[in-house]
Amino acid sequence: MPRLPQKPECPQQQSPGVDEAPQRTAYVEEAGSAGISRDEWQSNSLLNWLPADVRNRCASRELGAGEHLFRQGDETFSIFEVESGRIRLIRHTIDSHLVILHTARKGELFAEAALFAHTYHCDAVAAAASRIRIYPKAALLAAFRRDPITSERFMAVLANQIHRLRARLEERNIRSARDRILHHLDLNVDVGTRALRLEGSLMDLAAELGMTHEVLYRTLADLEKDGSVGRSPGYITLNA
C-alpha cells in the first residue's frame, strides 16, 4: 500500500480575510427568492424534498470501516449522502500516491459530479462503520429535467456546499495554528452550546485542519490553559 503524503503543518500563504456573514445572508436571500426555506437551504438531505417516486427508489447501505463504496474509474450510478459515520474520498495519483480529497460526515452529500460524469474520479472508503443513502443518478436527472423547483432546490444545496468549501479554503490559508483552530471552532460549534462534538479522534481533526497531531495537541493545550476553549470527552467548547 503506498504511503499517504504528509501534509504540511501550515500553508505559506496568508489569507486576506473574508467576511462570512454577508455571504451567508446573501445565499439565504437568494434561496428564499427561489421559494426555498432557510431550513431546506441549510439541510443537504435530498430526502426532505425529493419527489415521492425518486424517494421510493433510494436505498441505504451499511459499510464496515475500510470498506469501499466505489473505486476510482468505476462507472457512475448514484450520488450519496452520509447517514452516519465518515467517508473518505481518496484519489490515486499518476505516481501511485494516495491523496485524501475530503472526508464526508453525517448529513453531507458526496460524489455530486457523478450526475454528469461517466466514471468516479476517486475512491470512496469508509473511515469508520458508516451508513450511506444512495440516490440513483437516472432518477435524479429525470426529476430535475421535469421539475424546475426540484432543480432549484438542488442548486441551493450545491450553493451551500460551495459556501462551506470556501470556508474550508479560507481556513487552510490561515497560517497560525491557534487562529486556524479558533476559526474552525467558530464555524462549526453548536450555536446554543458553543461546543464542537468530535466525530473521530483528534488525529482525524488534525488531518481535517491540515496540521500534524502534535501541533494540534500542543495548541489545544495552550488554548485550554488561557481559557479560550474548554475540553470534555468528545467535545471542545469555544469560550472566546
Q: Give the tens place of pLDDT for each residue, 44-101.
A: 567 778 888 898 899 999 999 999 999 999 999 999 999 999 999 999 888 878 888 8
Which element (helix H / strand E) includes 159? helix 148-172
CB-based burial of residue 80 (10 Å sphere; 0-12 exposed, 13-18 middle, 19+ buried)? Answer: buried
Instruction: Please state the separation of Cα 36 from the chain's center in Å.
Output: 22
Q: Map grid coordinates 449522502 to a residue.
A: 81
Which element (helix H / strand E) includes 222? helix 213-225
Residue type, 58: C
Least confident of 28-42, 133-147, 171-185: 28-42
Band the pLDDT of 32: cuts 50, 70, 90. Answer: very low
Residues of the chain with CATH 1.10.10.10: 175-238
**Is the distance from CB of 119 to CB of 224 less than 8 angstroms?**
no
Residues of the chain with CATH 2.60.120.10: 20-168
CATH architecture of 175-238: Orthogonal Bundle (1.10)
CATH architecture of 20-168: Sandwich (2.60)
In whole angstroms, give the CA distance from residue 62 to residue 67: 10
Q: Which of 111, 133, 112 is nearest to 122 (CA)?
A: 111
What's the mean per-residue pLDDT of the chain? 82
In whole angstroms, give the CA distance from residue 10 to residue 92: 24
pTM score, two decimals?
Answer: 0.68
